[in-house]
Copies of this chain bind each other. A is one copy, B any other.
Amino acid sequence: MDPRVAEHAKILVNWCTKVKKGDNVLIYLNEQGIDLATEVHRQASVLGANVLVCYGGHPWDAVPTELVRGYYQSTPDEYLENFPRHHYELVKASDVVIHIRSGQNTLSLTGIDPKKISTRTKALKQLIDEGMSKRWCITQYPTTGFAQTAEMSLREYEDFVYSAVLVDWEKLTETMVKLQDSMNEADEVHIIGNKTDLTLSIKGRKTIIENGQKNLPGGEVFTAPIDDSANGEIFFDLPSVRFGREAVGVRLKLKDGEIVDYSAEKGEDLVKALINTDEGSKRLGELGIGMNRQITRFTRNILFDEKIGGTIHLAIGNAFKECGGINESSVHWDMIKSMKGGKLIFDGEVIQENGTF
Contact = CB atoms under 8 A, between A and B. Distances in A.
A299 B76 CA distance: 41
Contact of A46 (B29, B41, B43, B75): B75
Query: 8 tightest A-B contacts by CB?
Result: A50-B84, A90-B90, A24-B86, A86-B93, A42-B70, A53-B55, A89-B93, A89-B89
Contact of A67 (B37, B57, B88): B37
Contacts of A29: 55
Contact of A93 (B37, B55, B85): B85
A85 B41 contact: no
A75 B45 contact: yes
14 contacts: A21-B79, A24-B85, A26-B86, A38-B65, A42-B74, A45-B71, A46-B79, A48-B76, A48-B79, A51-B71, A52-B90, A86-B94, A89-B90, A89-B92
Interface residues of A, number: 50
Interface string A39-83: 101110110111111111100000001110011011110110011
Contact of A34 (B37, B42, B55, B93): B55
A65 B46 CA distance: 17
A86 to B, nearest CB: 4
A31 interface: yes
Contacts of A53: 54-57, 67
Given A24-B84, A51-B84, A88-B93, 14 more contacts: A21-B79, A34-B67, A37-B55, A37-B67, A38-B67, A39-B70, A42-B74, A46-B79, A50-B85, A50-B86, A50-B87, A52-B90, A55-B55, A90-B93
A22 interface: yes
Nearest to A38: B67
Given A50-B87, A67-B41, A75-B46, A22 B93 contact: no
Contact of A52 (B24, B37, B38, B87): B87
Most chain B CB neighbours (cut-off 10 Å) among A35, A49, A85: A85
A8 to B, nearest CB: 15
Nearest to A55: B53
How many monomers of this chain does the complex have? 2
A41 B54 contact: no
A75 B24 CA distance: 15
Nearest to A97: B86
Contact of A83 (B35, B46, B50): B50
Contacts of A92: 89
A75 to B, nearest CB: 4
Contacts of A78: 48
A41 B70 contact: yes
Contacts of A39: 70
Contacts of A56: 53
Nearest to A48: B79
B93 A48 contact: no
Contacts of A43: 74
Interface string A160-172: 0000000000000
A134 to B, nearest CB: 10
A52 B54 contact: yes
In this complex, the member of A21, A66, A92 whose beta carbon has the largest number of chain B beta carbons within 10 angstroms is A66
Nearest to A22: B82
Nearest to A47: B79
Contacts of A76: 46, 48
Given A46-B75, A87-B52, A92-B89, A70 B26 contact: no
